[in-house]
Amino acid sequence: MKKLIVVLFSIIYIMSSCDTVSKEMKLDDKMNDSLNIVSYAENFKIYKIESGYKLVIKDLSSENEFYLFNDTVTIPNDLTDKTIIRTPLKSVVAFSSTQWSVFQKLGEIDKVKGILESNYTTNNEILRLVAEGKIIDAGMSTNVNTEKIIHLQPDVILVTPYPTVDYSHLKELSGATMVSFPDYLESHPLGRAEWMKVVGLLCGKEDVTNQWFDDVVRRYESLSYKCSVIEEKPTVFSDLPFENQWYVPGGNSYIAKIFSDAGGDYIWKDNESTGSLHIDAESVILKAQNADFWRVINSYDTPFTYERLKNENELYPLFKAFKEKQLLVCNVRECGYFEKSQYEPDVLLADFIYHFHPELLTEEWENYVPTYFKRLLK
């Protein structure tokens, strides 16, 4: 009889403990990263909790938690002191084109009430909405027009954090929830793309962005697998100098990863930086003079040609890639590179495979034509 009582108490205790653990897991998943539904990004996490989501974002100096619930859900009592975001949100100010472009793709651009630096975009819909006053340009990232943002009264302000800029006053003055969006810190192309999930959560369309991301991952990994067995890898370097300094991607940057996954040999692959390297022109010539390909991003509104490049800098014709017309050029005025390519790393990867190993573009990529980077012919 005593044994039976002990067993019964043990069962009750175990069941009670399981219930306690279950509740803790629902409301505080921070301790169990196996529940994190983010796969590649390193600077945010998403946990499914009871009736909502917990979003954790790590930026330059801090880690912030947000609890997202549909506006029909009653907030649990033990979360009343947490930062709550009701979804789908009704209004947002988006500091970066990598933020508002996802709202646009989701068909939720009407929620975007303010942006920064509209003069840098060529997106026709955004320019039209700004001209019509339906989206307000609130200044520059280094000089935000606080009064305009306060007047908009957004639910959320999506902020791109920089070490030299302090946006804390915006939260105090506007009353909006500040959500940091440090997507540019991700070094893996799929990690950058995964930030679409944050916008999906805010719009209440997480299932849509989850599916988009899964499709991108499938296509990207399929292409990179084909290139992983390549033995002959063309060498590649990147960018143009500014005031005799070359700002090139570090060896652990996202673009270096794309070069590698496309079967290319990036000449600064051994560098460990995830950001940019500052290198003098002479050093670049010594290391890149015989590289097979040269990647260039430009925003010229006039023809970009080899003749023009030669006239701009007498050093350019010294490069093998220049002599053999192997410049891979992206004109950001024509393709929305900064707005869209982050969420299409599979397409960006296909661009470079097209130039490095075109024979590998088969099946769904069989008739592919480069979207962003095209070989400069003249």
Compute the radius of gyration of the chain from its Cα atoms: 25
What confidence category does residue 216 fall into, taking pLDDT thresholds of 50, 70 and 90? very high
Query: According to the model, what pLDDT value does residue 300 have?
Result: 85
Residues 93-131 as b or e (16 or more Cβ within 10 Å = b): bbbbbbbbbbbbbbebbebbbbbbebeebebeebeebbe
Structure tokens at 55: 């979003």
Specify whether the CB–CB gap between 179 and 57 falls below 8 A: yes
Query: Closest by alpha carbon to 263, among 375, 352, 367?
Result: 352
Q: What is the pLDDT of residues 78-124, one digit of tens each?
A: 898 999 999 999 999 999 999 999 999 999 999 999 999 999 999 99
Question: What are the angstrom distances between the C-alpha of 263 and each of 61, 279, 286, 315, 344?
Answer: 36, 25, 23, 28, 18
- Fold identical between 36-204 and 228-375? yes
pLDDT at 33: 72
Per-residue confidence (pLDDT) for residue 186, from 0 to 100: 96
- Cα gap 314→309, rounded to integer Å: 8
Tokens of 88: 């789908």
Q: What is d(CA 369, CA 6) in angstroms, rounded to the nearest whole number?
A: 72
pLDDT for 163: 87
pLDDT tens digits, one per residue of 42-72? 999 999 999 999 999 999 889 999 999 999 9
CATH no. of 228-375: 3.40.50.1980
3-class SS of residue 10: helix
Residues 88/204, Cβ–Cβ less than 8 Å: yes
**Residue 32 pLDDT grade (very low, low, confident, very high; cuts 50, 70, 90):** low
Please give the structure tokens belonging to residue 63.
């880690």
Q: Which residues pair with 293 in a beta bridge?
A: 236
At 301, the pLDDT band (50, 70, 90 cuts) reads confident
Q: Is the pLDDT of residue 371 over 60?
A: yes
Which pair of structure tokens corresponds to residue 103?
């709202």
- Average pLDDT value for residue range 143-160: 95
Residue 2: is its pLDDT beyond 50?
Answer: no
Higher pLDDT, 80 or 350: 350
Q: Is-contact 69 76, C-beta < 8 A?
A: no
> Which residues, 6+ apart, have CB-to-CB distance to 57 below 8 Å?
43, 44, 63, 64, 66, 179, 180, 181, 182, 198
Q: What number of residues does the chain have?
A: 378
Lowest mean pLDDT among 171-180, 189-198, 285-294, 366-375: 171-180
Provide the 10 A C-beta neighbour count for residue 349.
25
Lowest mean pLDDT among 192-196, 217-221, 231-235, 301-305: 301-305
> What is the predicted pLDDT for the residue at 324?
98
Architecture of domain 36-204: 3-Layer(aba) Sandwich (3.40)
Taking the domains of the chain in order of start, what are their residue ranges?
1-31, 36-204, 228-375
Both structure tokens of 153 = 């009264």
What average pLDDT score do residues 208-232 get?
Answer: 97
Q: Is the pLDDT of residue 192 over 70?
A: yes
